[in-house]
Structure 1
Amino acid sequence: MRHRMPVVFVSHGAPDALLNAPDAVDCWRELGQQVPQPTAILVVSAHWEARRPTLSLADIPETIHDFSGFPPALYRMQYRSPGAPALAERAASLLSAAGLIADLHPSRGLDHGAWAPHSVMYPHASIPVTQLSLVLNASAAAHVALGRALAPLRDEGVLIVASGAITHNFGWLDIHAQVEAAPLPQAQLFTDWVAARVAAQDVDGLLAYRSAPHGADAHPSEEHFMPFFVALGAANGDAPERFRPRFTYGALAMDAYIWRG
């Protein structure tokens, strides 16, 4: 009998996390080792938003370098996993059954929020992957509902990975911050508030995160926190475990969570 797959949330950090965030890279590697081998992966990243939830039918997803001004080594990186069009269609059918109309994109690749952590979690790029978009301007509650609709995939050997950020305020960042530097107090306070609410499985509290200490400041725009809510919905009450890599650039929390079946 197949065991239920966990749900994973990772903070993917800046595009250069693979080069400059060793704690986060070690965390992603550990997650890949702890999670049972999935038959396929559905990943939702902060870097794809659409009017409706949209899934990629790409047979071999392109590695999208959706950033500029970073070291040339990043632009040479490729993550050539097989696509998972059958999973995309299955996910679309689950969303439809939950009253959520989904679209299918014929060729959309993997943005850095998807391929960067996957290149560490599954470096051999042998597991089929499809990417799901966020819904543009939709609420946190709407993204929880999206995750809940997709939760049955966990019983089909599918790993759901959400990739975003616990904190994402460019105005808080210090590009000269040393890896060992203490994080900005506001960023630490909000990150620990999220952790406390996750540990208490307080979904209502998390949905009201903009009223939390420094919540609105932690996310001047909301897209980087929305993948977290997809994961929360797919977790469907499972117990969480927190991973705490060091902050990057003084204020980018790199926390990860896993909810085990």
Structure 2
Amino acid sequence: MNPTLFISHGAPNIILSDSKSKRNFQKLGKKLTKPKYIIVISAHYVTNDLKIIDPNANKIMYDFYGFEDELYKVMYEINSDKDLALNLMNKLKDLDITISIDNDRNSYDHGVWNVLSLLYEKLDIPVLQLSIPYSYTPAELINLGEKLKSFKEEALIICSGGVTHNLGDMSYSSTVKTYAKDFNEKIKYIIENAEENSLLNIKSDINFRKNHPSTEHFLPLFIAYGSAINKKGLSVNSEIQYSNISMESFIFDEK
């Protein structure tokens, strides 16, 4: 059985850095057993209802601005697979999950290829990207993850987002903001101790909105948690960049 990963992907230029997080993600990639395919959910693909990108997708998008010119020249070979995509859809429908193909989405956002390029220098594994269904409640997102568990014999599940994500209050200071540190520690405790009720009610935490003015970067964590057979995740990276951007990442069901 393959594990589930929740990766706090940080800024797109992590791939150009020499950061602790980059090194840890590269080390993690070397430990992973090669799956038949990868199912990925990224904070940068949000739809009202659950969708899967065009099964013919085979390119990356540079969905960011203001970064180094070098970043817009990065090439990364990545492909979906029509048969695997249709099989995933049909099996989810059999599990009472409504899903449709998004014919307008035919490339992979940086929350996908940025992470994959750190885990796999060269990728020869099909990648099926699901959207984050914004109409779902946290409990429904966990349930979606539960339904994805049945694919883990063949697929590696990667949920790409962020334990914290307040770009409006980030800075280049080396001093970590207290609200980010406290929230990060709380999430780490919740995940490492499988505190599902605390996770379900996390939006009521005093620091939630300070760390997530919008929720899309946190939502993949619900899906990752739901897809875990052993709900206790293990931290594989701990770093806070730009004073408030947590890179905290977890592996569930590690072999």
Deviation string, structure 1 residues 206-234 (Cα, Å, up to 9, x no partner): 11112224122211111100111111111
Amino acid at match of 1:50: T
Paired residues, what number? 253
- Secondary structure, counterpart of 2:128 in structure 1: strand
Which residue is equivalent to 1:201?
194
Q: 1:145 aligns with which of 143, 149, 166?
A: 143
Distance 1:162 1:85 in 2: 21
Percentage identity across paired residues of the two chains: 27
Looking at structure 1, the residues matched to 16 and 176 of structure 2 have their Cα atoms a distance apart, in angstroms, of 19
**If the length of structure 2 is used for normalisation, what is the TM-score?**
0.93
Moved over 6 A (4+): none
Deviations 1:139-159 (A, max 9, x none): 22221111111111102x200
Deviation (angstroms), 1:21 = 5.9
Q: Helix, strand or coil for the counterpart of 2:250?
A: strand
Root mean square deviation, CA, Å: 1.6
Match of 1:25 among 22, 29, 35: 22
Of 169, 176, 184, which residue of structure 2 is paired with 1:183?
176
Q: Distance in 2 between matches of 1:209 and 1:66?
A: 29
Task: Identify unmatched segments of 5+ residues in structure 2.
Answer: none
* Cα drift, residue 260 of structure 1: 1.7
| In the alignment, structure 1 residue 215 sits paired with structure 2 residue 212 | no
Select between 6-15 and 132-141 the one with higher mean Cα deviation.
132-141
Letter in 1 for 2:227: A
CA separation in 2, counterparts of 1:93 and 1:150?
12
- Partners in 1 of 2:175 and 2:94 — Cα distance? 47
Using a 3 Å threshold, how does the CA distance of structure 1 residues 89 and 221 change in structure 2: closer, same or farther?
Answer: same
Question: C-alpha separation between the residues in 2 aligned to 1:85 and 1:56?
Answer: 10
Question: Is there any run of 5+ residues in structure 1 with no aligned partner, and where?
Answer: none
Contact 1:172 1:184 in 2 (8 A): no
Checking the alignment, whether the CA contact within 8 Å between 2:229 and 2:253 is kept in structure 1 is no
2:84 and 2:64 map into 1 onto residues whose CA distance is 28
Larger displacement relative to structure 2 (218-227 or 136-145) = 136-145
